Structure 1
């Protein structure tokens, strides 16, 4: 019992109550966000859309998501985290109800884009609020729990979506809306505003310019990190875009693909809570280099995979890499963001994922077609490039973080003086 309590203290102890309410809202949000997983099936089966038209509507959802990420970051820094989270959740719930009862494809396409906008707005605000309330020494654990909640919620969403889609598409959308509204209620009742207004001297002290969204888009140190994260995201997207095609080429059934994906999800749900204590003694850049190296090894191994056991073994390797990468990746992103631009930096960071979801299938499909199994050597090489990049970029990142901390202390001194 004493060992279990020590493990829990190391994993989640010392985190403020507001974090746990944010965590609960995120878990409810992810567990309920299942309707859009079946949007293409709904369009073709219930609305008579062609596969190409269904693809365009799903693409509209993705485009709305990219815009929503930036909008959410700007609003979270201007309005506040709580206001942005409430507005996004309430808008998403209302739009989902409208989508449930819409019949015309043009209206559905517009609503899908707006739902994408509303679904993506909370991400920067959630992370910025976590950084606001969690002490720096505990942030790695907080981000680890956030990643765990996200994956647990997605696993629940996948199970619920299949059951509800078979019963009723109307129920699929309405239950999604109800879950989103439940998350909004948790935030409204339990999450205070975490944004602290302060003199905007941090960025001026470091970069000598007035802070804004353009600051994140021209911050070379930050953009280098974003680029390396983009490579990691491209690797991660292989599991949902190119790997199913490779497994089909190897004569494996869809159930085999489902087993590989389920194994990865199960490993994260079971093992993610043990990651913080494992990586705590090491520098973040070293952990990220090792994690991306493991992902490179896992995906590179698919070059010789021709049966389910090898795919399952490779999945274990790259999933461990993903698990190790999650906490330091999120923490570095938080460390590089000046306090007054915290959510804006998060929004630029989160753009890597829709970008990777476009690049991975677009270029990966061509690569698999022309290179065959050698495609996985290219993917492995990208992972090794990212690993080397983290080792090289680590020292400049650490110097930048030190400068930001010094500037933040000067900002607090100015605030105290007033």
Structure 2
């Protein structure tokens, strides 16, 4: 990509042009919130180092967070379709800010477990509402690009958060909880002020139920494959920090290594997203999942920061390939009046994977680190095979949706 290419007016227009101001308000809030999202990636290290828990104990507490997140997707999908996308997102972020502060002050095991559950319940309420907002605001042909831009904002913020979070963990974990709370509050208030409600008035839309989503066998199958791939992917943020500290590295080391993920996505994804978005979605997802699996498997054979960084580069390449594609598939499958619930079903799959990930990862880490990463690589290859098998049905279902 030359400087002349970047300077052409049509280049930037093709990447970011034509999207409404409300979308950019959502994008900005997502970026701010992600910059402050430091607690979740370091929570395992916090629980083991500051609260004296074992790896399996920390994994169990993180799984409690996953249970809350799991339930939140069903609740948020219903709230977004029943009361509105804006109030669901804002309410979830405001609640997250207060619960984050409470978690920072929790010292006893019962208090930590309770606040972790409530944090999981509140922190992920925004996901179905945000995904439904994008589907409401953006026409089908631009959705892969819009979801890709949201993905890009998440990772731009993530690159900052991991470096800052690793440093703040050395200074004092209380700072991480405070910053995370403030950015959550900013996200919620920005959406409340700058994003209009996109849910049609009650009398102008059909009634729907979550059972309608469960009756969509194609959506259920896609969600189950998402669970499998998420179990693998979220090891980077649940088990990898434990594995690195177990091997003698510091939280700053983990922050620097994992920041490679965000930096690469920030640089590369805007240049490739439109091309991958125009390809067959299930084939792209399958290829990306396979590359992610190989990247995680490589972690079994590394022992220094350069090796860890190389494995991150590889699975990040797979992540870049898939950016924005799952959201576009879900939006294409969902009837307009069920977009919140369909997004909730997809979020439920993600949260299900996040729930299983620390249980599987922490358990395998205690047995053998190499077995952990080879198993995770195999899990992602299974997900890739499942997507290829589902491809013909997804293509038939979404053939009428313009791209």
Normalised by the length of structure 1, the TM-score is 0.81
| Range with bigger deviation, 159-168 or 143-152 | 159-168
- Structure 1 residue runs without a partner (length 5+): 202-209, 407-418
**Larger RCO (alpha carbons 8 Å, 6+ apart):** 2
- How far apart in 1 are the matches of 2:43 and 2:244? 24
Task: Give yes or no for contact 1:43–1:49 (8 Å, CA) kept in 2.
Answer: yes
2:35 counterpart residue number = 31
Give 1:372 shift. Answer: 7.1
CA shift, 1:374, in A, is 6.1
* Alpha carbons 2:158, 2:259 under 8 Å: kept: no
Q: Which moved more, 1:72-81 or 1:287-296?
A: 287-296
Aligned-residue offset at 1:386: 2.6
Structure 1 residue 285: deviation in Å?
A: 1.7
C-alpha displacement of 1:143: 0.7
Mapping 1:63-102, distance limit 5 Å: 63-100=67-104
Deviation at 1:142, TM superposition (A): 0.7
- May I ask how many residue pairs the two structures share in their alignment? 395
Bigger Cα displacement from structure 2, 154-163 vs 374-383: 374-383
The reply to whether residue 140 of structure 1 matches residue 172 of structure 2 is no
1:232 — aligned with what? 229
Equivalent residue in structure 2 for 1:359, among 330, 334, 356:
356
Is the 8 Å Cα contact of residues 252 and 308 (structure 1) preserved in structure 2? no
Alpha-carbon deviations, 1:120-176, whole Å to 9, x = none?
A: 111110111011001111111111111111122223223333444444554443333
- 1:287 maps onto 2:284 in alignment: yes
Coordinate RMSD, CA, aligned:
3.4
Deviation string for 1:157-197 (max 9, x for gaps)? 23333444444554443333322222222112111101124
Aligned equivalents of 1:110 and 1:170: distance in 2?
A: 18
Deviation of 1:350 (Å): 1.4
Q: Secondary structure at the match of 2:234?
A: helix
Hey, what does 1:3 align to over in structure 2?
5
SS in 1 for 2:324: helix
Q: Single out whichever of 54-63 and 386-395 deviates more from structure 2.
A: 54-63
Unaligned runs of 5+ in 2: none
Post-superposition CA distance 1:193-218 (Å, at most 9, x none): 011247556xxxxxxxx731122223
Are the aligned partners of 1:221 and 1:397 in contact in 2 as well (CA < 8 Å)? yes
Establish whether residue 223 from structure 1 lines up as the match of residue 217 from structure 2. no
The 1-side partners of 2:278 and 2:354 are apart by 33
Contact 2:27–2:153 (CA<8 Å) still a contact in 1?
yes
Deviations 1:44-87 (CA, angstroms, capped at 9, x unpaired): 777x6655776655443332222222211110010000111121
Whole-angstrom distance in 1 between the partners of 2:44 and 2:301: 33
Residues 215-364 of structure 1: pairs in structure 2 closer than 5 A: 215-241=212-238, 253=249, 259-302=256-299, 305=302, 311-364=308-361
Q: Structure 1 pair 117/360, CA: closer, same or farther in 2 (3 Å)?
A: closer
Q: Once the two structures are superposed, what CA deviation does each residue of 1:338-366 show, in whole Å capped at 9, x if it has no partner?
A: 11111111112112233223433434556
Matches of 1:67 and 1:27, distance apart in 2: 25
